[in-house]
Structure 1
């Protein structure tokens, strides 16, 4: 890694992280959530959908996809130090133009203002002064990620909470990951671009080797979606180079996530 993470005391702070699908929490914010928890912050994780459209790479043995993914989510959340897990109960909308997009329970068909109010009420009840949710591009354009942006933006506006919008640094990933990050495959499947250039990113979080090990374990917990044997590190690959940074676009003044130790990378930095 390029720097040593800070170790602040964040006792008394609550952070609410909103994600679209089970496994997004580990892929895009696993280091951040674990470090927040280790620093004493209360971490509330909200999942908008059950990830049903993702299918399963493993036999379900009588489970539904939603039930399997919920169990995997619960294991991941425990590894990441989440104190409360909330499910909004909508259905995965699937890829743009796909058959799941028009399902009556799909997140893409839901009222983002109503869901934003629901998340705002949850944030108020928890005393969460910081919200984490997807950027306006939905990281890689998935309909559910775009919906999460709309929901999170509404909640942030209603509560006045600091807003950190999750994204990825595509310049860094072009150099360091070279197609190995899961967002590469997701964006290719949706035929869309992904992420932001380095100059657009306000906040980047990294972690120690132990933090990265927890993130990798949390990703591997989603075994129905992610083959642990294909994750960097299984064969001596560079997990840190691919997944060792998490990126956000912050609105307003620096907040809790910046206290973890903001890392700015030049394009091409190792």
Structure 2
């Protein structure tokens, strides 16, 4: 949909020019919370990154005043574009599905809700993007949907199918469930009354960020100002909660992939 400039900070010793990575997420802000460091590091190393957003995150209110005539959905897409630019994303694609709301709520049965999508049909659209971009790597949520939200679960299913359709190397995002209680996923899981994350033994690798990358990630999360209160992301605690991004490599038998060049097995 949109192309963004990708200001590059050279990544010492790593050259990913010619590589394209597609990242699939369900809602605006997920890209920054779960893969912000990863996307920025890929861009800094020369990779082209394509962000595919399944919904506009339309549901719920805005914690900041909207402009005259502006909807929550419009504000969230504007914030997404700002965050994508900070993360060095080259292209943003919107799939046009609707936020499904909390588990068990009435919005989950809406005809356009992501939770009611036909997985194979939606995966076909993601596969088309992978093929169009010549992308060999896909980032998506894990099978549990990180914390069990129906949109995250659907994103994981769709991403896994799209990778199978195209042969793309799939890295499935999750969180280490032992991370201290301060990550935004804790509040989201409590609101949805679901569990979250995986044990460290089930996580293939973690991608880490230095102080500069942490500052970029925090700025990208806070770009979603209609949703995220800066008080929820104190700088003093940010590195401890958000300094790592966790993935399960869905096809390790094929050997190390692009993210293996960035990450390491969690301790």
Superposition TM-score, scaled by structure 1 size: 0.91
Question: Alignment partner for residue 55 of structure 2, among 49, 52, 74?
Answer: 49
Q: Secondary structure at the match of 1:27?
A: helix
Q: Following superposition of structure 1 onto structure 2, how do residues 211-226 of structure 1 map, counting pairs within 5 Å?
A: 211-226=213-228
Cα pair distance change 1:262/1:6, threshold 3 Å: farther
- Say yes or no: does 1:19 pair with 2:21: no
Aligned residues: 253
* Deviation, structure 1 residue 188: 0.3
**RCO higher in structure (CA 8 A, sep ≥6):** 1
Structure-1 separation of matches of 2:138 and 2:144: 17
- Say yes or no: does 1:37 pair with 2:36: no
Cα pair distance change 1:139/1:54, threshold 3 Å: farther
Q: Give ranges in structure 1 of 5+ residues lacking alignment.
A: 266-270
Given that 2:28 and 2:55 are in contact with CA atoms closer than 8 Å, whether structure 1 keeps it comes out as yes
Report what 1:249 is aligned to.
248
* Deviation, structure 1 residue 261: 3.2
Superimposed CA distance per residue, residues 81-114 of structure 1 (whole angstroms, 9 cap, x where no aligned partner): 0000000001000110112111111111111100
Given that 2:204 and 2:265 are in contact with CA atoms closer than 8 Å, whether structure 1 keeps it comes out as no
Runs of 4 or more consecutive aligned structure 1 residues displaced over 4 Å after TM superposition: none
Superimposed CA distance per residue, residues 143-180 of structure 1 (whole angstroms, 9 cap, x where no aligned partner): 10011011101110010010000000012x1xxx3x21
Q: Secondary structure at the match of 1:257?
A: helix
Report what 2:66 is aligned to.
60
* Higher mean C-alpha deviation, range 55-64 or range 237-246: 55-64
Cα pair distance change 1:231/1:7, threshold 3 Å: farther
Superposition RMSD in Å: 1.2
* Higher mean C-alpha deviation, range 32-41 or range 246-255: 246-255
Report what 1:90 is aligned to.
97
Q: Give ranges in structure 2 of 5+ residues lacking alignment.
A: 1-10
Given that 1:6 and 1:260 are in contact with CA atoms closer than 8 Å, whether structure 2 keeps it comes out as no
Superposition TM-score, scaled by structure 2 size: 0.92
Structure-1 separation of matches of 2:32 and 2:157: 21
Structure-2 separation of matches of 1:238 and 1:188: 20
Q: Secondary structure at the match of 2:151?
A: helix
